[in-house]
Structures are given as C-alpha cells and as structure tokens.
Amino acid sequence: MGLRRIAGLAGGGIALVMLLGGCTVDDAFHFGWPKGGITPQSQRMYDLWIGSVVAAFVVGILVWGLIFWCIVRYRKKGDALPPQTRYNAPMEVLYSVLPFLIVAVLFYYTAIAQTYVNKIDPNPAVTVEVVAFKWNWQFRYLGQNGPDGQPVDTIGSTDYVPVLVVPVGKTIEFKQVSKDVIHSFWVPELLFKRDQIPGVTNKFQVKVEKTGAFVGRCAELCGTYHSMMNFELRAVTPENYEKFLAAKKAGKSTPEALEAAGEAPIAVTTDPFKTKRDARTTS
Ligand SMILES: [Cu+2]
C-alpha cells in the first residue's frame, strides 16, 4: 500500500469522524472546547487547552510516523534479523528525559493558568451567593438588601428558569453552597464548573467581558430532575445592572426588574422542562 493511499485513508477517516460527530470545520479547530469563552479566565484555560492539544499532536505525529516508518522500512524480507540496537545508552536517556521534559512544561503552564483562574480579589465588585438545591437554583445578591432587610434574590421553580444577572467588566464573586446533595455550577461559556457541596462554601471569581445570555446547568448528577436543573447567566451593562438591582430592592420580581432594565424578562437560552410528575403511564 503506497504512502499516498495511507494518507488518503487517514484523511478520509478524520473527515468521517468529524462528519458523524456533527462537527463543523470551525468546531474541529477548537478541539472540543467552545471558542475562547466570555471571561479572561476562560481565555487562559482555552489557550492552555489548545497548547496542550498541539503538544499532544506533535508527539502523536512523531510516534505514528516512527511506527509507520518501521512497518514499511523493516517489513519482513527474509529470515535474517534486522540490526538489533538494545542497550543504546543515548537513545534510552533520550526517551527517559524527553517525556519528563514534556510533562514538566505542561505542568508549568497548567499551574500558571490554574493560579490565575483561582485568584481571589478580596474586594469583588459584586458578590452573588449561589444556592443549589434539589432541583433548582437560588441567586442571592449579597449586600443588596430588599424591603425585608434580606439580600434580594431570584429563585427557580418547575416552571421558572432562574436568571442570574451580572454586570460586564466587573469582578464578580460566586459563593457556592448547597442545601442537600452535591451539585455543580456550570456555565459552558465560562469554560469552568465547580462543585457545590453541602457544608462547604466554594467560591470563584470571573470578569465577564461580553453582554449576552448564556445557559447554565448543574453538572453533578444530583437525583431525578438533575437534567432539568438549568439557569441562565445574563451579562448586562453596569447601568442596566444598577437598574435591575434598584427594581429588585424596590420589591419587584426578577422578570419585572429585568424588564425595567430594558432586558428580556425571562430566560432566552432554555425553557422550563415538563417534569411529568403526574404521568401515570410509561411513555
Ligand atoms: Cu444538581
């Protein structure tokens, strides 16, 4: 089989995998991650991901190349053994040291990106307490009290997808708690998720750079309606955020407050699910 034929088969195989996986050419170049994300934190993780994939490809192509070269070059031509090169010290040193160097470089860049993503500013502009429960979310805007003296909040229900409103360009802290079992806060566009564990307060900070609506999900299997535990992250301008907060503090509901801020009143990225709690027959 000629080299051209092998290359053709390999190319066809890759194209088939992409086609059957429903990928576009554009998707393929992100190697399984959404484009850059919407925060500087996600951009760092995205760059790390792309760098790691490229490094893996370089190693992969080298290894595949050597394998195929051996297959072709040393295919059986007679009964004589090909030259044996055991105990080749330089070669053994090379293949011991090289993987160590690759791991060290990957470790270095991972540690840098991780430190950046986990960095906590002691004075975030906005702090939202994210309360997870079976099977929905509550978002409490700490330090922003309503008429009852409690932080204003939004709470999801079977027929209401909770909208988490944040301003762009500001440091936002999410304080994560759970009422019952382990859940996980995940907005795919943040390229990040973190568990919400009963009895533990996790936190992380982001700076959203792009206005828009982004779907959020629970990413830890938490029971029957886990798959329906969706929310929406709504990134708005700081002016609209202030209008939203002012309306909430005046006792308005979240859809009313969003409308007062000139925003779509309900979630636009996902819909409430039919829980079929009253279904009596299997469907
Ligand atoms: Cu959950």
Q: How many whole angstroms from 180 Cα to the centroid of ligand 1?
A: 10
Domain assignment of residue 131, yes or no: yes
The pLDDT tens digits for 65-106 are 999 999 998 888 888 887 888 888 998 999 899 999 999 999
Same domain, 64 and 146: no
Same domain, 204 and 143: yes
Mean pLDDT of 176-185: 96
Q: What DSSP character marks residue 170?
A: S
Same domain, 164 and 103: no
Q: How many whole angstroms from 207 Cα to the centroid of ligand 1?
A: 24
Same domain, 130 and 114: no
Does pLDDT of 152 surpass 80?
Answer: yes
Strands across the sheet containing 212-218: 163-167, 230-236, 212-218, 183-187, 192-196
Domain assignment of residue 227, yes or no: yes
Same domain, 252 and 131: yes
Q: How many whole angstroms from 70 Cα to the centroid of ligand 1?
A: 51
Q: How many whole angstroms from 273 Cα to the centroid of ligand 1?
A: 15
Q: What DSSP character marks residue 226?
A: G
Q: How many whole angstroms from 131 Cα to the centroid of ligand 1?
A: 10
Domain assignment of residue 273, yes or no: no
Same domain, 132 and 214: yes
Same domain, 165 and 238: yes
State the Cα angle at 150 between 148 and 153, rounded to 5°.
110
The pLDDT tens digits for 187-237 are 999 999 999 999 999 999 999 999 999 999 999 999 999 999 999 999 999
191/173 Cα distance (integer angstroms): 16
Which residue from 266, 253, 257, 258 is spatially nearest to 162, judged by alpha carbons? 266
Q: How many whole angstroms from 181 Cα to the centroid of ligand 1?
A: 8
Report helix, strand and coil shares of the chain as percent, to nearest 5. Answer: 40, 25, 35
Tokens of 52: 């790691």
Does pLDDT of 283 surpass 60?
Answer: no
Domain assignment of residue 6, yes or no: no
- Indicate the number of domains in the chain: 2
Same domain, 98 and 180: no
Same domain, 190 and 250: yes
The model carries a pTM of 0.82
Which is higher by pLDDT, 174 or 88? 174
Q: How many whole angstroms from 111 Cα to the centroid of ligand 1?
A: 29
Same domain, 224 and 195: yes
151/148 Cα distance (integer angstroms): 8
Instruction: List the domain range (segments joined by +) for residue 243.
Output: 126-260
Which residue from 214, 165, 167, 223 is spatially nearest to 191, judged by alpha carbons? 214
